[in-house]
Amino acid sequence: MHRRRVYSLCLRMTSNTAEAEDLTQEAFLQLFRKIATFRGESAFSTWLHRLSVNVVLMHLRRKGLPVTSLEEASEPDEEEGPKKDFGGPDNLLAGSVDRVNLERAIERLPRGYRMVFILHDVEGYEHNEIAEMLDCSIGNSKSQLHKARLKMRDLLHESRGGGTARY
């Protein structure tokens, strides 16, 4: 469970199997190095996963890759305006989302959106925790998550051959 969870997190955040392996190794080495500091205030899995997130974020920052983006925090689709008629239902996903299409869509998200989406929707962190991890405001975390989900919906619709689902 832990191994898959940590490796999946690293792979999803980097989209690179070699980097994911290196980061998984680093996460578990950090675990061994820091185990003495584990106070049992949270579940062990919570502690390990948080440590893994920090390893990945530190790696991305060291590479000079922003984990949040001010540009992405703006309204990327705003100037494009509504793209379709309103009024009728447009339930694109029919209540179910195929996991492979979900993975592909996550991979195609802009990095800033991807980080927040993975941390909140996949890993289950709260906005205040994400704001602390990414060094951004809670509002920014919420805003990016919402835009990430809208973008995901768009990408999932594309994967079903339906073109763009943007408003």
Cβ neighbour number for residue 75 with a 10 Å cutoff: 10
Angle between helix 99-108 and helix 2-14 axes, rounded to 10 deg = 40
By the rule CB under 8 A, 24 interacts with another protein: yes
Beta carbon of residue 59, minimum distance to another protein (angstroms, whole number):
16
By the rule CB under 8 A, 111 interacts with another protein: no
CA distance 106 to 155: 9
CA distance 165 to 92: 8
DSSP 8-state symbol, 120: I
By the rule CB under 8 A, 86 interacts with another protein: yes
Stretch that binds another protein, among 50-58, 60-68, 129-137, 149-157 (CB under 8 A): 149-157
Stretch that binds another protein, among 12-20, 66-74, 108-116, 129-137 (CB under 8 A): 12-20
CA distance 58 to 20: 13
Instruction: Single out the residue of 103, 108, 111, 129 in contact with another protein (rule: CB under 8 A).
Output: 103
CA angle 84, 80, 73 (to 5 degrees): 120
By the rule CB under 8 A, 138 interacts with another protein: no
Please enumerate in sequence order all residues whose Cβ is within 8 A of that of 85, keeping only pairs 6 or more positions apart, or say none.
none
Secondary structure (3-state) at 119: helix
By the rule CB under 8 A, 36 interacts with another protein: no
Tell me the CA end-to-end span of the chain in Å, nearest whole number: 39
Instruction: Single out the residue of 70, 74, 135, 146 in contact with another protein (rule: CB under 8 A).
Output: 146
- By C-beta, is 87 or 161 nearer to another protein? 87
Enumerate binding residues for another protein (CB under 8 A): 1-5, 7-9, 11, 15-18, 20-21, 24-25, 28-29, 32-33, 35, 44, 75, 81-82, 86-100, 102-104, 107, 117, 121-124, 142-143, 145-147, 149-150, 152-153, 156, 167
